[in-house]
Chains A and B, each alone.
Chain A
């Protein structure tokens, strides 16, 4: 796993949580490599630690041990401000429940990541409109999340995650709250971005979603095992 061409590289990453009875291991020794332009899916039963894995990569959590490298740079234990910068410029994240800010319109939600990235407003606006157009919501850009369907909200979340042109898109159960039709629409959207060169790391328990990926891993007993 020491391929210098890897965009993302995890080595012996472990994470556990404290409980009154002692620590409970969630991830014991995770090794993972994602190449640029790949679409990798991580599946596993509920409670296997998929979200924990994604949170570690997104620098929302810190591993107990092991190393996480992005483009060869160690990022597991960065100071908060550097982690934020990385999240802003290098990573994009999609959650299961879209997590759009209800008080902001679709356009404003998409613009949110441009604030820490310090992109000038004209450029940001142009990108946002372009993305919303691409996801088919140009006419709904001034609507608030409460006025959009679940699938539409998730598509806005995708646009928000991509506005700063990140190196890696992290998706945590992106279709978990969607029906079949919306799931297909979302996967089609992601596929489109993947074809344009986006690297995607997706955790999911949906077979349908996992099938869209190029490589699949199964997370079980705290360890990752590649399937196909």
Chain B
């Protein structure tokens, strides 16, 4: 038999098993909470990754267009060239209406190749005129399988809606369809390109059937490519496969020597014009505009086409009065001679189709003979509603045509010449006055013997797919990035649970300290027998390690249970944190190992700290349970006063001197002040507890005074109890009162709503400015007086608000006129000191590619992981790269989830986007009902979702409030664990003092006397803890109390404090009763 450290350690473990088990219990709880939080993180991450898999299936890259339609056969050509699976999809916005309700949905026209890319990878039957809905669509629309419904779809139109010539009324198609079975997520039911955990509302129909119904047979606007695709190969294949038909180019042979190029979007994109300039064949760019009138003196010719042509026959002339060549017909109508001046009035293209009429003066440089031929007629762009009209009075365009101005002559001209221009100007002049974001040419004529195909091929070699806005987006990579970098629920729950962990570890430390004290005699004996201190410490380390490992191992299964409990909570009472996301449980062995390692490390650290404190004592003191850590040094008392005074004065100074205003810093400063007040209060408590004996010196103590004095017997224990209680109360109160409710004053312009009453998002763009009479008339809006709107353009993108768990690297962009938001909303931070932060959006960033942007500060910091001054990279239309420079951070606003830039910059980035999809309404609260009713009716064609701004803000607050609720629940759990520790502490105190109680009983004190004394002692500790906690919390909650949006959970807090008081009182009372019932004789004999 051999005696050594290890053997003695093992003996000790077995002998002191009950004590070790209590220590291990604390470690078990800490392990369970740490592990549970990490498992939750894994589960949420895995759930989000599964959502990516469900919504993307095998798709890795996608070409996503809005209203640019290419041949659906392109997918097959790409598949053959790259030997991968590709699919073409026709995606349009739609409404599904049934007798149960209506819902905005994503309508996908798909074919077999689409379903091969689904998670299941197998084909799925989709008969024509039958729709398949996913579960979310079925639930939203309230439809069942077999029922019929009305599908309303916006008809595709390549022509930009902001061109005044196009009709304001976008045609919609209504189709009556029958609903088939629910399409499951394994068959792409939850297909979506949006990086969000919110399940999309999807409808699937046969692509060719849909294309026929929409009048674009054989067309699609999305391309999908599968996993394992090589991006370079895909890009190369796409470059080689694109044809003129895919781009909406129309080539026609005007004569043997002339080929004309036109575009179905009216204007030829600038990058195409740039490519044309590099081509060898001679060419002439043409920009034909529609003018309201051409007048000279008292004569006026209405509604004519004038052509700007790139030809040396048409030199520009003076810039302030350029040359114009008029036809003989026009010269006769206006009695013109060469050298005369004419004035031309025309509308220019501006956002929201606001008609701005401009005038330019020209000088007649020549008069030519009008020839009627196809080439001249083709100079007029193809405007539906105009080109095929038989008479001028039949014109149906978006322009206000005053038919009373149209004369017989004009009708005769139209009969003979149709849209042949009545005058020519230089191309340079035309580009200057009519050039716009859509392009600076309506046609191009190539001279020479090249065929249209040859010219098309040559042009396409100059352009890449990216130039033509056909670029592959790495959707899978973006989705995985968003999921992997999503809100880390592991860290979140670790943060929310830290008080539970701290309480468990504190309890572990307290119990370990008790155990060591109990073994003080053993340790003294070993010391006396010649055991070196390090040998004894080594022996204890072996014991502690075994206890820690045992506690951690037992804590692992508890962690699994705790995680399942938390998941249940997240799916039910705390569903506000995840927005109804389907979460499943995911167990990762690496996480369990990490939990084990972390738990062992911190538990061992706690035990080593306790051990090290114990061994600071001299050998004799380790065996004495009467030691006191009272310091009688006068200097120490002075230090306490100084430290306390400083701690109490400092926050006062901070509050007064810094005068924290608005913003997140205010809350942080007050919380910091509260923490200092708490610290100061605890120091005061420490001082008074130690001074208690001196306060009652030389007095005959009553029972209550005896009880109070007893607090100073073991001041460390008393203070540990006070500190635990006060910290718990402080944290729970200070954090919980920051709960945000519905805004009390949504009309406040500096608040989160900006003073706007309504927030409206439309499925389809609202094309007109509904602040104008014309706009309101078009949408039949009968609005209360003084109702004003701010309309924002919206580019596609993911929501980056707290409602989206995924990390969004490129949030949705909104374009706004900064002046319309002046003095609205509050800023948490801006760059520089501008007089109006919104003006920063108009500032010159110093570079063409850098655009100033504003977003919610919380989104900047947390969702994007950036700060002010950082940039976010975007790829705009035509593949151009942009950098959005974050110049301002809003404070908790309606725009959470989006990034705002000026409308001007928006149209530079996205020239093809017309109209607005986000509208803010400013109206008196009393007018709310009629306003909502009118908007819902008038904007029906656009599919509006109308929401009160205050309620929208409340939805954002749901996430934060849910987190606070979780913190309150877990904090309460931590406090319960702490209270259990207090109970253990009380019991320990009682047991140590049993002989003393026995003596008191023997000396004549009654049971009631004993209970009174003990209650006084322990309730004093509780009240000190409560007061310290409330003092600290009082400072920390000031911002929340003064915030109009604050909604502190007073009732929950009241219940919480009542439970705490009840628990403390009950535990104390029961322990005191136990102590009072002991056997006097036996206790005295044992002494």
Residues of chain A at the chain B interface (Cβ within 8 Å): 18-20, 55, 58, 60-62, 80-81, 84-89, 91, 93, 95, 99-104, 107-108, 111-117, 121, 124-125, 160-161, 164
Contacts and interface: CB of A to CB of B under 8 A. Distances in A.
A60 B528 contact: yes
Contact of A116 (B1, B2, B535): B535
B235 interface: no
Contacts of B393: none
Contact of B530 (A19, A55, A61, A89): A89
Q: Which of A20, A84, A113, A121 has the most CB of B within 10 A?
A: A84
Given A80-B532, A103-B11, A87 B1 contact: no
6 contacts: A61-B619, A87-B530, A99-B528, A100-B525, A107-B1, A115-B535
Given A84-B533, A95-B525, A103-B14, 14 more contacts: A20-B694, A80-B532, A81-B533, A86-B530, A87-B528, A87-B529, A99-B524, A99-B528, A102-B15, A111-B1, A112-B8, A115-B5, A116-B535, A161-B529
B528 A104 contact: no
B13 to A, nearest CB: 9
A93 B12 CA distance: 22
Nearest to A22: B632
Contact of B528 (A89, A93, A101, A108): A93
Contact of A117 (B4, B12, B530): B530
Contacts of B15: 102-103
Contacts of A84: 527, 530-533
Interface string B629-659: 0101000000000000000000000000000
A61 B620 CA distance: 7
A113 B525 contact: no
Contacts of A88: 529-531
A61 B2 contact: no
B343 interface: no
Q: Which of B15, B530, B619 has the most CB of A within 10 A?
A: B530
A155 to B, nearest CB: 16
Nearest to B526: A112
Contacts, number: 95
Contacts of A20: 630, 632, 693-694
Contacts of A117: 530
Contact of A115 (B524, B531, B618): B531
A108 B15 CA distance: 14
Given A18-B632, A102-B15, A93 B529 contact: yes
Contacts of A89: 530
A116 B11 contact: no
A85 B527 CA distance: 10
A85 B12 CA distance: 24
B522 interface: yes
A92 to B, nearest CB: 9
B582 interface: no
A100 B527 CA distance: 13
A159 to B, nearest CB: 12
A116 B530 CA distance: 6
B521 interface: yes
Given A18-B632, A20-B630, A101-B522, A55 B620 contact: yes
B3 interface: yes
Contacts of A95: 525, 528
Contacts of B524: 60, 99
B690 to A, nearest CB: 10
Contacts of B531: 84, 88, 112, 115-116
A99 B519 CA distance: 11
Q: Which of A60, A89, A91 has the most CB of B within 10 A?
A: A60
A60 B16 CA distance: 26
A77 B716 CA distance: 30
Contacts of B530: 84-89, 91, 113, 116-117, 164
A136 to B, nearest CB: 21
Given A20-B630, A99-B525, A60 B619 contact: yes
A138 B423 CA distance: 132
A55 B527 CA distance: 12
Given A60-B620, A104-B8, A111 B533 contact: no
A115 B531 CA distance: 8
B11 A104 contact: yes
Q: Nearest 7 pairs between A and B by C-beta?
A: A88-B530, A103-B15, A111-B3, A84-B532, A87-B530, A99-B525, A103-B11
A115 B2 CA distance: 9
B532 A81 contact: yes
Contact of B4 (A87, A93, A115): A115
A80 B533 contact: yes
